[in-house]
């Protein structure tokens, strides 16, 4: 049998014709290779250089800012009026505005997103899944300014019917649209995390007489938890950085009010306000832009690093 299957076996073992005829030495410096390699490398350095330049610019302007304003006033002051007299540079109202919009958005996006992910990965038929996933991705592709417009022209009027004393610009509608905006991110990332849980674990659980609900909540979600958590953190980071929708929906009133019916201002919408306004460059008011941007950058960077650490742990679980 074996001989019939490999009729060439004997022939192949004979040495090929004069193998030494072709040299294996380099035929010269490979300039073409070198040029391509350098070009590719320089492309990849563009993003590094840009990032470094932005960070250096932010930090140096922030340092200039702190020569004029004490860090104590910036970080702990509760009044933010940098653009008019008497000026005050307490950033907390902006942080607060960002915080309540982010928390509101997270309260919407996290439970709904996780529930959609569970439905998609554990319950939906392949057909249902292949319908829902593209719609979610479409939702993720809508420009954020459209969400802002949607908040102003649709969400707020609807809210008005329920809460008559809500302001035109309010934190609640901003939180709702940002929640809807980051929902697809939570849903698709969590879905991927849950689907990465091996089928064999589900089968093991079913074979012990577990119901679908028990398998999902007690085995699949805990096993995929790090990926799910990472999706939450990235969604939160995205909500913190969200700009256009929040600027349009929540207005520009730095405010530490507990009420979500009032206009607030987030860190990002302050940056929009100053960038679009007629603030002269070089002054303290102008420098606040960089101080706020640095703070925003630091917050999202920390959250992204944490979520990356969680994701890395996740990768090791089954390998």
Partner 1 sequence: MSQFPDSTLAEQNLQMSKKSVLELRNVNIFYSDNQAVNDVSFNIRRNKITAIIGPSGCGKSTLLRSLNRMNDFVDGARVEGELIFSNENLYGKEVDPVEVRRRIGMVFQKPNPFPKSIYNNISWGPLINGYNGSTDELVERSLKQAALWEEVKDRLHESALNLSGGQQQRLCIARALAMEPEVLLMDEPCSALDPISTARIEDLLFELKSSYTIVIVTHNMQQAARISDYTAFMEMGDLIEFNVTKKIFTRPAMKRTEEYVTGRFG
Interface with partner 1 (CB under 8 A): 126, 198, 200-211, 214, 218-219, 222-223, 317-318
DSSP 16: P
Contacts of 297 (CB under 8 A, 6+ apart): 55, 58
Q: At which residue do the structure tokens 């990472």 appear?
A: 230
Q: Residue 119 or 206: which CB sits closer to partner 1?
A: 206
182 near 235, Cβ under 8 Å? yes
**Closest distance between partner 1 and the C-beta of residue 222, in Å?**
7
**Closest distance between partner 1 and the C-beta of residue 315, in Å?**
13
**Closest distance between partner 1 and the C-beta of residue 190, in Å?**
17
Q: Residue 42 or 212: which CB sits closer to partner 1?
A: 212
Number of Cβ within a 10 Å radius of residue 112: 15
Q: Residue 23 or 125: which CB sits closer to partner 1?
A: 125
Q: In whole angstroms, what is the distance from residue 141 CA to residue 155 CA?
A: 20
Which tokens sit at 273? 């306000």
Q: In whole angstroms, what is the distance from residue 261 CA to residue 247 CA?
A: 15
Q: Residue 157 or 198: which CB sits closer to partner 1?
A: 198
Q: Residue 217 or 252: which CB sits closer to partner 1?
A: 217
**Closest distance between partner 1 and the C-beta of residue 219, in Å?**
6
**Closest distance between partner 1 and the C-beta of residue 161, in Å?**
45
Which tokens sit at 201? 């674990």
Which tokens sit at 116? 């959609």
Which tokens sit at 281? 């460059």
Nearest Cα to 109, choosing from 232, 217, 225? 232
Q: Residue 190 or 268: which CB sits closer to partner 1?
A: 190
Three-state SS for 99? helix
Q: At which residue do the structure tokens 């979600």 appear?
A: 221
**Closest distance between partner 1 and the C-beta of residue 196, in Å?**
12
């Amino acid at each position: 049998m074996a001989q019939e299957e490999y009729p060439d076996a004997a022939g192949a073992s004979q040495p090929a014709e004069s193998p030494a005829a072709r040299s294996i030495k380099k035929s010269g410096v490979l300039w073409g290779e070198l040029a391509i390699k350098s070009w590719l490398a320089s492309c990849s350095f563009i993003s590094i250089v840009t990032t470094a330049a932005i960070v250096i610019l932010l930090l140096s302007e922030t340092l200039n800012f702190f020569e004029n304003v004490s860090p104590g006033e910036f970080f702990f002051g509760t009044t933010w009026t940098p653009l008019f007299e008497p000026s005050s540079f307490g950033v907390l109202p902006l942080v607060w505005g960002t915080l309540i919009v982010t928390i509101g958005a997270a309260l919407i996006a996290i439970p709904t997103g996780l529930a959609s992910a569970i439905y998609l990965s554990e319950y939906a038929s392949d057909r249902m899944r292949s319908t829902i996933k593209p719609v979610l991705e479409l939702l993720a592709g809508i420009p954020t300014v459209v969400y802002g417009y949607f908040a102003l022209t649709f969400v707020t009027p609807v809210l008005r019917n329920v809460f008559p004393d809500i302001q035109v610009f309010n934190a609640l509608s901003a939180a709702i649209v940002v929640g809807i905006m980051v929902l697809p991110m939570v849903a698709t990332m969590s879905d991927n995390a849950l689907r990465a849980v091996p089928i064999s674990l589900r089968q093991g659980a079913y074979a012990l007489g577990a119901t679908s609900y028990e398998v999902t909540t007690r085995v699949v979600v805990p096993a995929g938890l790090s990926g799910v958590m990472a999706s939450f953190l990235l969604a939160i980071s995205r909500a913190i950085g969200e700009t256009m929708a929040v600027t349009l929906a929540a207005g520009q009133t730095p405010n530490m009010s507990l009420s979500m019916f009032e206009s607030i201002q987030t860190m990002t919408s302050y940056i929009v306000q100053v960038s679009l306004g007629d603030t002269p460059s070089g002054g303290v008011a102008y420098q606040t832009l960089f101080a706020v941007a640095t703070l925003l950058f630091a917050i999202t960077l920390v959250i992204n690093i944490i979520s990356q650490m969680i994701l890395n742990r996740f990768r090791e679980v089954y390998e």
